[in-house]
A and B are shown apart, each in its own frame.
Chain A
Amino acid sequence: SQQGEEDPQALSIQEGENATMNCSYKTSINNLQWYRQNSGRGLVHLILIRSNEREKHSGRLRVTLDTSKKSSSLLITASRAADTASYFCATATSGTYKYIFGTGTRLKVLA
């Protein structure tokens, strides 16, 4: 089964609200990345958090990582209509070259 699973599958919020999405994974990881995919486009890297980090910020993004629970969350503060996209977590299992992507959270921000 897939390594990363995002929750919720879909999320609809009003502009200005915060959006939180979660990712759970199964095995030990080196790091975890979050990517955004706008409709009909390729994925764009947002942020990477290493296994020895607990929290990381980048602009309006805040990512947390709890390796004991094998989970991560992505918080987008003060959301904008332009944040409407699918968000994927990607985990890199220790000792491998490859990232495993989850099925994503589809975020819709209503203006």
Chain B
Amino acid sequence: DTAVSQTPKYLVTQMGNDKSIKCEQNLGHDTMYWYKQDSKKFLKIMFSYNNKELIINETVPNRFSPKSPDKAHLNLHINSLELGDSAVYFCASSKTTGTSETQYFGPGTRLLVL
């Protein structure tokens, strides 16, 4: 059973389009995250939710809007896609917000904006 799953795995789209990435975890965790990994493999946190409440909101363009319908799901909607949004987006979850918690990562969504 996949612990943290993301869909789609690959996303190729034109500049200016709006797209969504979905994430689901079946670990019973309270906390979920979105990370962006650029072409140099630098992994940067974007958002974190704990029990459907936003707790981390890094300096991310407001074209990016996360949504957590329940604590097992965290989706990411991106409006007006730009070339610079091309990256791999990882969803992760942890039991709680504590920084001693292990984070469990999904397989990533490879977004290419043309």
Other A-B contacts than A41-B108, A101-B44, A106-B41, 12 sampled, CB-CB below 8 A, are: A37-B41, A40-B108, A42-B108, A43-B43, A43-B103, A45-B102, A50-B100, A92-B99, A97-B97, A100-B45, A101-B35, A101-B42
Q: Are B90 and A43 in contact (CB under 8 A)?
A: yes
Q: Across the two chains, which residue of chain A brings its CB closest to B107?
A: A42
Q: Cβ of B104 < 8 Å from any Cβ of A? A: yes
Give Cα A80–Cα B35 distance, bound, in whole angstroms: 29
Q: A31-B99, A97-B97 are in contact. Are A44 and B40 (CB under 8 A)?
A: no
Residues of A near any B CB (own CB < 8 A): 2, 30-31, 33, 35, 37, 40-45, 48, 50, 86, 88, 90, 92, 96-101, 103-104, 106
List CB contacts (< 8 Å) of B83-103 with chain A. Answer: 90, 92, 97, 99-100, 102-103
Q: Are A43 and B105 in contact (CB under 8 A)?
A: yes
Q: Cβ of B4 < 8 Å from any Cβ of A? A: yes
Q: What's the least CB distance linking A56 to chain B, in Å?
A: 13
Q: Are A31 and B100 in contact (CB under 8 A)?
A: yes
Give Cα A97–Cα B35 distance, bound, in whole angstroms: 14
Give Cα A98–Cα B92 distance, bound, in whole angstroms: 12
Q: What's the least CB distance linking B35 to chain A, in Å?
A: 8
Q: Across the two chains, which residue of chain B brings its CB closest to A50?
A: B100
Q: Cβ of B68 < 8 Å from any Cβ of A? A: no
